[in-house]
Amino acid sequence: MPDTRTTHPALGGTATEQRLPDVPPAARRRRALTWTVIAAFLILVGIVAALLSGIGTWNERDRLDPESVGPGGTAALVAILRERGVDVTVTRDRDETMRALAAAPATLVMADSPILGDDALRAIFDAATDVVLIDPRTRGVEMLFPGATASGFAPAETVEPDCQTDAAVRAGSVVPGRLLEPGTSDAAACYPVGDGFGLLTSADGEGRTAAFDGLDLITNENLAADGNAALALTLMGRLPNLVWYVPALTDSDVATEPTLGELTPGWVTPAIVLLGATAVAAALWRGRRFGPLVLERLPVTARASETMEGRGRLYESGRDALHAADSLRLGTLERLRRALALPPAASATDIADASARLAALPHQDARRLLIEDEPRGERELIALSDGLRALEAAVARGIRGEGGTRPEQTDG
């Protein structure tokens, strides 16, 4: 048998360096694949979030935007106005809009934007000669037509003008969309649907004012339907100059309550970032070990026979014959199991019975020798050791065919 070596710090010598088994390639591939999948998932989530954010931004930009060629934009109407000689200026800044309106008489086209306060919206309306409100809401409608309000929506069907306004009469029938109620105002109302109307107009000296739902009339996808184009061109093309104002977020003058971030002291955010970085570093430090385990160099090596002799002397000094007998039996049972080609799960009784059959011994004698006898002193322990050695020899002879018959293999 090869010499088995174990360590013993009391003996001199050189330690035998041991190596832990390397990680199997399949395990490394599985680990790499797991981290790859996690990284790919995070990247995919980021891409989807960016796309959704971009879609939302594009939809907001596309809504009645004079430079958008999408279905909800109004670039087609702007192009037609310019072909008819109208100088269309698209502005996205409130100050620039005010300068453009002050330069010459012009028509203002815009939607009622919630980011503008009442004073800012009224100042822009007052600076224009003509005003066309293409996304009317109650606030803007009431500013242009005191006493009027915005109501519900009309069914998706064409409606005749049923009024004396030249622009509506020339345009003919349209699908109104949002409805407006003139209320106590002196506005002329066209395209009646129930208690509401699709168009409100008024004239004050040289200026003209109009309000209608541009989403259903002047967008790129709806401009060619019914009399939509004729109505828009008549209302917006009266003057040679047109300023199409699209309010930007920087134009907002609406007072808002301070946010939680504004109320938070300046040192809180760096502290949170530092604590988060510390937590991540601690998790990485305590969560896993980077690289292979470092082996400690052992001081000395000792032969297995020497350690066995040491244990035997401990058993002898402690008068522990039963413990020593168990050690002898365990070694004998394991050697017999291998010699008899029994499965690892075979019980001590199975090994004893198979050994008895092969050694031509009574089963009860083999069981007492391998399992039941409990030596109470050195004499009985020596007798047990001799009996075990004799049993192993008898089984070996039976395997070689020198006596008895080879037992059938039993299942564990």
Are 242 and 136 part of one and the same domain? yes
Alpha helices in 112-227 (DSSP H): 118-127, 138-144, 166-171
Coil, helix or strand for 145? coil
pLDDT beyond 90 at 244: yes
State what percent of residues in the chain have pLDDT above 70: 76
Does 80 reside within a domain? yes
Which phi and psi (to 5°) does residue 130 adopt? Answer: -110, 145
Query: By the 8 A CB rule, do 6 and 301 touch?
Result: yes
Residues 151 and 44 in one domain: no
Which range among 86-90, 215-219, 332-336 has the greatest average pLDDT?
86-90
- Number of structural domains, the chain? 3
Report the C-alpha gap between 286 and 279 in whole angstroms: 10
Claim to verify: residue 219 and residue 130 sit in the same structural domain? yes
15 falls within a domain: no
CA–CA dist 365, 349 (Å, integer): 12
Higher-pLDDT residue of 342, 27: 342
- Copy the structure tokens of residue 386: 């001799």
pLDDT-derived band at 20 (thresholds 50, 70, 90) equals: very low
- 34 with 93, same domain? no
Does residue 128 share a domain with residue 26? Answer: no
For residue 411, being part of any structural domain is answered with no
Q: What is the average per-residue pLDDT within 222-248?
A: 89
Is residue 22 predicted with pLDDT exceeding 70?
no
* Mean of per-residue pLDDT scores for the chain: 79
Residue 37: give the domain boundaries.
22-62
Residues 81 and 158 in one domain: yes
Q: Are residues 211 and 360 both part of a single domain? A: no
Q: If pLDDT is split at 50, 70 and 90, which confidence band does 279 have?
A: confident
Q: Are residues 44 and 149 in the same domain?
A: no
Assign residue 404 a region: left if phi > 0, alpha if psi is -120 to 50, beta otherwise? left
Residue 408 has pLDDT above 60, yes or no: no
pLDDT at res. 319: 65
Encode pLDDT of 110-137 as tens digits: 988 888 888 888 999 999 999 999 888 8
Task: Please check the confidence at residue 407 and state whether its pLDDT lies above 60.
Answer: no
More confident residue, 218 or 408: 218
CA-to-CA distance for 42 and 19, rounded, in angstroms?
38
The candidate with the shortest Cα–Cα distance to 183, out of 214, 138, 215, 153, is 138
Same domain, 341 and 239: no
User: How far, in Å, are 145, 154, 180, 188, 380 from residue 185 at the CA level?
Assistant: 6, 21, 12, 9, 123
**Domain shared by 53 and 98, yes or no:** no
Q: Is residue 388 one of the residues assigned to a domain?
A: yes
DSSP string for 32-64: HHHHHHHHHHHHHHHHHHHHHHHHHHHHHHHTT
Residue 189 lies in a domain: yes
Q: Closest by alpha carbon to 198, among 246, 243, 119, 133?
A: 133
- Which region holds residue 401: left if phi is over 0, alpha if psi is between -120 and 50, else beta? left
Task: Answer yes or no: do 56 and 79 share one domain.
Answer: no
C-alpha to C-alpha distance for 216 and 76, rounded to whole angstroms:
14
pTM of full prediction above 0.75: no
